[in-house]
Amino acid sequence: MAAVSAAFVMLICVQSLDVSAVGKPHSVTENGVGPGYHRPRLMPRNNQALIQKKLQSIVDNEGLPQALEELQSYGYSSGYLKPKAHTGNPVTSFKIEGYDLDFRYQINLLRSNYVPKYGRAGNCPICWDVVESFHKPGLRAYGLELNGRKWFLQNPPFPYTYGHVVMIEKTHGRRMAVREGTLKDGLAYLDLDPEATFCSNSSYYWSSASIPEHQHYQIIHERISGGGKLPVVMAKPKQGYCEESDGVKRSILNYPLPVIRLQSQDKKQLAKYAWGMIQRWEAILPGRNSVNLYMRKEGENYKVWILYRSTNFRNPKRLKNLKSENLGYLEVGGEFILPVTKDPEMKERRDKNPAPLFERFFKSVNPLLGIENEILQKLLTQPLPTEEERKILREKNQLLKRVKPGSELPFSQVKQRSRRSQRNKKLGA
């Protein structure tokens, strides 16, 4: 009983900390800013402690989006962000037949020489000690507390657009994974930054987790980037594929990859249903099936997009001259970040007629090609996992503790087979 009371008191403390992290001006003028307040200027020589203090003042008086805008400007003045980081990357839009969406590809000039750091022992590129370090003297961050855990927000060295921010857990310890907490973190973040799109990579390296050893999320901040929502969040529901229970609307979307969108005004129910649908998918092929997540707040509604992935479905080998890295949350979301290709024939095909090439990428990573409606309909109508599925996932989690992040489960340890017909059976088709 005493332990329960202590836990309850801790919970209250955590919630009150949450509120202090959000901050609200005590008195507000017509401009939405407290009287006598002047936005502090972030100077290039300011240390991390001072930057945090100044950013906190901006958050308290104006809000988180404004603080993030200042942090990005600081990145340029301190030399951490290169002047070309956001400019000079040509972006091309294209259509794919059957979808009324503007898909895009961006040639990221700075990222062309980027080599993923993963695999170098003891060299985590996103740990807290990298901030203000010898290697990144101009990198600063904004620390905040969310759902009782400490996080920091920083600009990535190769942002894909203005307002691209990474939210990183302050302690290195939890591997990158989509958890129930991911949904709770995303939905809580949107209360602080309602114009943002909160995105999560999947749980495994081969289906988009770029730094699998450290939990982090991606935030696209449209207030700073000036719009440009990801095509996946613009996709429309398919006729006749909608369900609703406990105030949570669920729809299958018309999109080249399997996507279900959930929406509700109730964050708790929304997280419960979204997590249930993720668990059902993961239980089919534990250690290989995962998802990419996108979350937004639109008016009073919270929305979650679940995009189904599996590490068994990877980039087409023939197109590796166009993109050799795994498709991440941006690419499957409809915006491809590409390096400068050294293959002139590929460049010509890409520029003259991009749709067939990118359709091949989508088909290649689609784990439900040809059976999407059938399987997604099962997830839609029976969103919560059975006891058997929960048991499978508990075993998987034990197994994952013994596996090095990024290496994923070896095939021999995975009981289920990956054939699409097997999936049908699992879902009771």
The footprint of Zn ion (CB under 5 A) covers 124, 127, 172, 214
Q: For Zn ion, which is the closer residue by CB, 152 or 308?
A: 152
Q: For Zn ion, which is the closer residue by CB, 144 or 168?
A: 168
Q: Which residues of 192-201 are buried (b: 16+ CB within 10 A; e: fewer)?
A: bbbbbbbbbb
CB of 213 to Zn ion, least distance (A): 6
CB of 171 to Zn ion, least distance (A): 8
What angle in degrees, to the nearest 10, is found between the helix axes of 48-61 and 64-77? 150
Closest CA to 358 of 231, 175, 235, 226: 231
Q: For Zn ion, which is the closer residue by CB, 117 or 394?
A: 117
**How far is the C-alpha of 162 from the C-alpha of 91, rounded, in Å?**
14
Q: For Zn ion, which is the closer residue by CB, 91 or 124?
A: 124
**How far is the C-alpha of 202 from the C-alpha of 182, rounded, in Å?**
11
Strand (E) positions, 124-236? 142-146, 149-154, 164-169, 196-200, 216-221
Q: For Zn ion, which is the closer residue by CB, 166 or 190?
A: 166
Q: For Zn ion, which is the closer residue by CB, 156 or 237?
A: 156
**How far is the C-alpha of 295 from the C-alpha of 311, rounded, in Å?**
22
Which DSSP state fits 9?
H
**How far is the C-alpha of 77 from the C-alpha of 70, rounded, in Å?**
11
Q: For Zn ion, which is the closer residue by CB, 171 or 353?
A: 171
| Burial class (CB within 10 angstroms; exposed 0-12, middle 13-18, buried 19+) of 254 | middle
- Token pair, residue 12, equals 């209250």
CB of 85 to Zn ion, least distance (A): 23
* Residues contacting 103, CB < 8 A, separation 6+: 93, 94, 95, 96, 231, 334, 335, 336, 355, 358
Q: For Zn ion, which is the closer residue by CB, 86 or 214?
A: 214
* Residues contacting 383, CB < 8 A, separation 6+: 243, 245, 250, 273, 276, 277, 280
Q: Find the residue with minimal CB distance to Zn ion.
A: 124
CB of 125 to Zn ion, least distance (A): 8
CB of 302 to Zn ion, least distance (A): 29
Q: For Zn ion, which is the closer residue by CB, 124 or 414?
A: 124
Is residue 251 within a helix (H) or strand (E), and if so which, with residue range?
Answer: strand 248-253
CB of 168 to Zn ion, least distance (A): 8
Residues in the chain: 429
CB of 288 to Zn ion, least distance (A): 24
**How far is the C-alpha of 423 from the C-alpha of 429, rounded, in Å?**
9
CB of 337 to Zn ion, least distance (A): 23
CB of 173 to Zn ion, least distance (A): 8
**How far is the C-alpha of 265 from the C-alpha of 2, rounded, in Å?**
35
Is residue 69 within a helix (H) or strand (E), and if so which, with residue range?
Answer: helix 64-77
Q: For Zn ion, which is the closer residue by CB, 214 or 267?
A: 214
CA angle 216-217-220, nearest 5°? 150
CB of 126 to Zn ion, least distance (A): 6
